[in-house]
Structure 1
Amino acid sequence: MNCSSLLKDHLNPQPNSQSQVQKAVDSVRVALQDSLGNSVPSLNLYIQTPTEKIFVSSVSAGSAPLTETTTFRFASNTKIFTSTAILKMHQDKWLDFKAKISDNIPGTNIPYVPNTPEWNFPYKNQITIEQLLQHSAGVYDVDNDSVPGYHGLSYTAFIQNAEPNHQFLTENMVLQLAKHQLTYFAPTKGYHYSNTGYSILGYIIAHVYSLKRGHDMTYNDYVQDYMVGPNTKVPLALHFPVWANDQVMPSPYATGTERLPGKTIVFGDYNMSAQVAEGNGYGTPVSLNTFVRTLMKGENVLTPETIHLMQTDVSAINPNYALACFYTKNMGFGHNGERCGTLSLAMYDPATDVSVVAYINLVDKVKGEDSFLACFKAIYSAAWGGRAALGYPSGPL
């Protein structure tokens, strides 16, 4: 079949496709529910092929299914947007992603990050923008790992527990690195996932854009103006809050549930200012799918050459993670994420021209890592199950 000859209005589910995908996702949710010995609020899949667009929501008995217009927090899938912003700026010669973060921004005598004691964290003058994108810079993650003086908690968790509406800034997090001289390793000497490294990338995006505009601009300003807003190539309803008072998602939205031993937390409105550029994004599965699909096909803000760079520019220490992008067999290129009681993934497979967005609004930690991984694996199984139901190669279910 010549897919290029298909008209857009033909992108509708075939008679049995919707029910087959629903059956596959239902099967995964029920198996997870049995494994956990507790209910699973919802497991959701949006899948687009060359000829069909299908959304299914599997929910517990008596619950209303979510829809393709339901907003959800897609957490670290935000990193794809951060990488895209950096590479778009590189395309436009606003920055050099191979540069050290202590180097000057092109055409200025101003460095990417401040040359001040508050920013004097380990190896700062050796770290490149590229290494931050690859998680090979060794930047300590004050969002996930414990920080001295915060009773065994991460800096962001401790502060947010004490003051839920606290306005976080990247400078707050970097100060912890400098104050305690925190690091994992020297640049390129290892791989360690770091939200704080991406917070620094968000700072760089806002800083470069502010210099271009001549006044203060934010990470979200750049993303809206150049990547997803009404005047961009592919306008989409995606939002990346940077302010502590920007907590309310548009209705309808999916709450997230986090189960801990002896306690359950339900997340709705939430202060995401600590997660700018690393996990603050939200939108609908349709919008997230459209962005990742058009991006990875070279039909959005990045050229095909730059997309190839995003997918293949890996560090020697971890050949599986490029510039906020990794490859999964029979799923394609993309990312995943976990935040506020929701797990998600967004992937595009160039071999089959199939894209998927899967998410579950449950993070179960009652049995520690075992129950968490069961939820994490469920989003992959739902995506692979949906592909298999439509006749595409899939992975382990």
Structure 2
Amino acid sequence: MQTSLPSPVALLFSRIALSIRRSLWRPWLVQASLLYLISFVISCTDHREPNPDEPNQLRVQAAVDSVRRVLEDSLGNGVPSLSVLIQTPNHTYFASSVLAGKSPITPQTYFRFASNTKNFTATAILNMHEDGWLDYKAHITDLIPGTNQPYVPATADWNFPNKGQITIEHLLQHSAGVYDSDNDTIPGLNGETYTNYRQSRDSTHQFTTEELIKPLINHQLKYPFPPGAGYHYSNTGYAILSRIIERVYSAKSGSAKTYADYLHNYITGPASRVPIAVSFPYRADDQALPQPNVTSLIRQSPLWGVGFGPVNMSAHVAEGNGYGTMAALNTYIRSLMRGENVLSPQSVQLMQTNTSPANPDYGLGSDRFTNLGYGHNGAIAGYLSLMAYDPATDVSIVAMLPLWDFSRGEASFLTCFRHMYYAGYAAKGALGYPIK
């Protein structure tokens, strides 16, 4: 059973997603990545179709090693590991750069992939749409097709602001204006988010969706734009999507089902089109990662940090509760974006069509990363990760760094976050693909 986290660490645990979204300065990322490549990638040619040979593997490893060393120099402290998996049309490369004396992780090492979960949630919604189980354009107060039940409960504990104006699509693209009780502070809670306030006092607390939206009702919290007319990243919006998936699946199956049930049965499990090694825990007591796994680190000062293993994910269902391996994420995002998984090419195109107000890079549960492609990123409990597929080059990539460094405040955390991206760009550039 997980012990209570020190309050400062719990605060970092629950609020970091907002910092990440504000830090995506993509043009600057690309420029800096190019500077790295100039300094350390050996013999990069302009070929577009890399050969599956040892020299290319060495180039990828050298690129990731160099980014990790630069990150260590920037932080003035060690970086336990930095890993990249990259698949081209002809070959798959994997590089794990670690501190001297440490064992590298492998493509089959488990970690928490956090908000990459949102892409799985969007896939579930669009798959239900294709099957006629729901209409992603419908208002969340509309009836589930073929039933007399609305998508979300018609009860007082679901009367959050603007509920009647919000569509499922709005929630997917973060344009619903649903206040985020996981990332933004709540009145009366000492300047804390709701999830941090509750979990820092009881790390075994079982969260519910009703509980997460209750502060929105009590304080009439919302973002300052009508649904569909703006953008604000909201984990709570995706928590609402989890309940929609649960209610639709339960209605169609005739028995009580969960978000995790649908993902396992239709998107990721043994009976799905492309089975992969991922899971979406929703119980407060389901905290452990399978073996082998990598422990993450949240460093509060040059000499003190907290390692994370077991973590309660019940507050993050559908928005950040997933765990899996780098190999699994690569298989998923590559097959999905190539139209080889559960979604039709038309639905994949919806994911890749960026129509979100005020954020042209975010579609339906999918980000667009310059020269890396379409996918998502994630950060939770000391893990940073990225998955993306680039249709222009037919290259997929997964990057993972199990470190948040706050020894110099948010600045050193953002340094970690950017270098996770740099490693992905460097690995792709080491194989001769354009990143400019």
- TM-score of the superposed pair, with normalisation by structure 1: 0.95
- 2:353 alignment partner AA: T
* Aligned match of 1:230: 270
Distance in 2 separating the partners of 1:169 and 1:263: 33
* Aligned match of 1:386: 427
Q: 2:141 aligns with which of 102, 119, 122?
A: 102
- Give deviations 1:245-295, integer Å, cap 9, x for gaps: 111111110111112247522110111010000001111100010000000
Larger RCO (CA under 8 A, 6+ residues apart): 2
Q: 2:331 aligns with which of 290, 304, 327?
A: 290
Q: 1:31 aligns with which of 54, 64, 70?
A: 70
Aligned 8 A contact 2:351 2:363 in 1: yes
Aligned 8 A contact 1:12 1:53 in 2: no
* Aligned match of 1:312: 353
- 1:188 alignment partner AA: G
Aligned 8 A contact 1:117 1:178 in 2: no
Aligned 8 A contact 2:354 2:361 in 1: no
Aligned 8 A contact 1:102 1:113 in 2: yes
* Aligned match of 1:251: 291
Distance in 1 separating the partners of 2:420 and 2:74: 15
Asked if residue 369 in structure 1 is aligned to residue 410 in structure 2, the reply is yes
- Give deviations 1:3-36, integer Å, cap 9, x for gaps: xxxxxxxx99412121111100010000011001
* Aligned match of 1:8: none
Aligned 8 A contact 1:44 1:56 in 2: yes
Aligned 8 A contact 2:273 2:342 in 1: yes
CA RMSD of aligned residues (A): 1.3
- 2:82 alignment partner AA: L
- Give deviations 1:98-146, integer Å, cap 9, x for gaps: 1111111111111111111111111011011101111111111101111
- Give deviations 1:299-333, integer Å, cap 9, x for gaps: 00000011001110513332221111121221011
* Aligned match of 1:357: 398
Distance in 1 separating the partners of 2:54 and 2:74: 32
Structure 1 unpaired stretches of 5+: 1-10
* Aligned match of 1:218: 258
Aligned 8 A contact 2:229 2:357 in 1: no
Distance in 1 separating the partners of 2:278 and 2:189: 34
* Aligned match of 1:4: none
Equivalent residues in 2 for 1:151-162 (5 A)?
151-162=190-201
* Aligned match of 1:196: 236
Distance in 1 separating the partners of 2:378 and 2:157: 30
Distance in 2 separating the partners of 1:308 and 1:378: 29
Distance in 1 separating the partners of 2:412 and 2:279: 30
Count matched residues: 385
Asked if residue 16 in structure 1 is aligned to residue 55 in structure 2, the reply is yes
* Aligned match of 1:341: 382
Equivalent residues in 2 for 1:276-287 (5 A)?
276-287=317-328
Distance in 1 separating the partners of 2:328 and 2:207: 27
- Give deviations 1:195-248, integer Å, cap 9, x for gaps: 000000011001110111112111110001001100111111110001111111
SS at structure 1 position matched to 2:230: coil
Runs of 4+ with deviation above 4 angstroms: none
Aligned 8 A contact 1:12 1:54 in 2: no
Equivalent residues in 2 for 1:253-272 (5 A)?
253-261=293-301, 263-272=304-313
Distance in 2 separating the partners of 1:314 and 1:144: 23
Among the aligned pairs, what percent are the same residue?
56
Distance in 2 separating the partners of 1:231 and 1:190: 38
Distance in 2 separating the partners of 1:181 and 1:265: 36
* Aligned match of 1:330: 371
SS at structure 1 position matched to 2:89: coil
User: Offset of 1:68 from its aligned partner?
Assistant: 1.1
Aligned 8 A contact 2:126 2:343 in 1: yes
SS at structure 1 position matched to 2:191: coil
Distance in 1 separating the partners of 2:51 and 2:178: 46
- 1:363 alignment partner AA: W
Aligned 8 A contact 2:337 2:348 in 1: yes
